[in-house]
Each structure stands twice: as C-alpha cells, then as structure tokens.
Structure 1
Amino acid sequence: MDIKIREIISADYAEVVFLWNDVLGMSNVNIANFRETMEEMNREGNYKTFVALIENEVVGFVTIVQALSVGVPIGYLHIQGLAVKRNVQHRGIGTKLLRQTENYAQERGIASIILCSGVKRIEAHAFYEHNGYDRDSYCFDKMIDLTQG
C-alpha cells in the first residue's frame, strides 16, 4: 500500500469534509463553509492542510496552524484536525500525517506541536501516545451565545 502525502487542493475538499463529519463528528462542516475557511486560511499564510492518498483517493488529512506564543519567538504548531477513513485506520496513514507535520515543523525551526483530542476519543489518545505525544494538559472550551447582547 503506497501512501502519498501532499498539500490539499480544491478537488480534495469533499473528501476532507466527509472525514471532518464522519471521523471527527463535526456536523456543521459543509463544502461551502469549508471552501470559505480554506480560502481565508490560505490568505493568512500560517495554515497548512496535508492529505494522505492511496491510489489518488483521499484517505486522511491533517490541518495545522503556526501560532505565536509569548516567550517562544517562532511559536508552535497546533494540529487543528487529523482524521483517517475508518476502513483504512491502523495502516500507518495517521502516523505518516504526523511525520509530515513534524517534518514541516523541523524545517521551520519549530520545536513544539500541540493538539487537543476529545475526552471520549480513547483510541485517538492511544494513537498519539504511541507516536510520542505526551498527555500533559487539558483543553477547555466554551461556546458563547452570540444572540445575547
């Protein structure tokens, strides 16, 4: 099985949207808002999305952003999403996407990569730990009701 990794192109959007919804459980991602977000991310310049391909079919992706941090002049990489199609998981695709991210960081002199993973995603946690990522913090979030002023 030959796995190729490359940057995302617009022809990949439908498959990546499918993965966001199916694997990551994001029900609010659709082609229209994904395309709009990708265009904005490309303009910003500090985001990258890589896709994994088997026989030219998108089977996984990773989206990262280089973020700044006080005291860390070059910042760190934040993995915003990583998913692999369910029927091809456990075949090294996710690991290859992580290695692509790590190589990208190293090429830019970035020494730190962080990510958050949902508390119920036990298999994902084991995958990240197996790939050398430490469980060292909690992520918290809060949805703000924008209809109240």
Structure 2
Amino acid sequence: MLRQQIIDSLMAQQPENIADAAMAQWEKLATEIISIVGEAGFNSLYERSVLLAQSTFPWLPACPSPPQAGSLFAEFRMRLAEQTPAHAREANSLLLTTFTDILASLIGEQLTASILRSAWGTPASDKSGKELDNE
C-alpha cells in the first residue's frame, strides 16, 4: 500500500536522533491535517492513535487533556529520546501507521497518501494508481 511505503521510506531516512526527526515529521503532518480538520480534529486522531499504539509500546505518553499548544508532542519526544534508536523508530513507525490507518478510514487512501506526500515532500510513485486500484 502506498501509504505504508511512504512511511517506510521516511523511517529509512531517519538519522540516529529519532526524537528530533520524529517531531519534525509529526509537526509537518499536523500542519497538513489541521488545515483540513482543525486542531481539535487532529488532536482527536493523534490521541486515538496513541491509545491504540500503547498496547505495543506502553511507554508512549497519554495525550494531555486538554492538549496545550506546543505540548502535544513534548512528552512523546522525551520518551522517544529515552529509547534505543531502533526501538524509537519502530514506535514512531507504528504510531504513524496507526494514525494514517484511522485517517484513511475517514477520508480514503488516495487523499491520505496525497496529504503524506504534501507533508513530507515524498514524490508520487509511478505505481501509485495501480496500488490504489488493488486495495
């Protein structure tokens, strides 16, 4: 699936400092999503994603309620920094996958993949149309 390929490609490009790279990714994604569904909509999607990912990574922080500006990712960044690079990369990948699974169920695969490409500057694959048709 194109969406997972985009995330896998992004994870493969991450430097050793996963926490900083992850924050940059999430901030870019948040900007794109907030422009569509608003901050409350993004926060709800993110909170649900964290709750689901906590079954695999119980150290993922619960979202502050209500979320405060600039603090949504602060504890996530701290927790990532405490992990080994491989473990942090795996957790961030799962959280991104979970988030985009929820998003795709709401707005569709094609629009979700378009948002990811817009947020992260990932070029569209020549195969993307075929992959979307096969899903």
Scaled by the length of structure 1, the TM-score of the pair is 0.29
Bigger strand share? 1
- Which is bigger in relative contact order (C-alpha 8 A, separation at least 6)? 2
Scaled by the length of structure 2, the TM-score of the pair is 0.31
Bigger helix share? 2
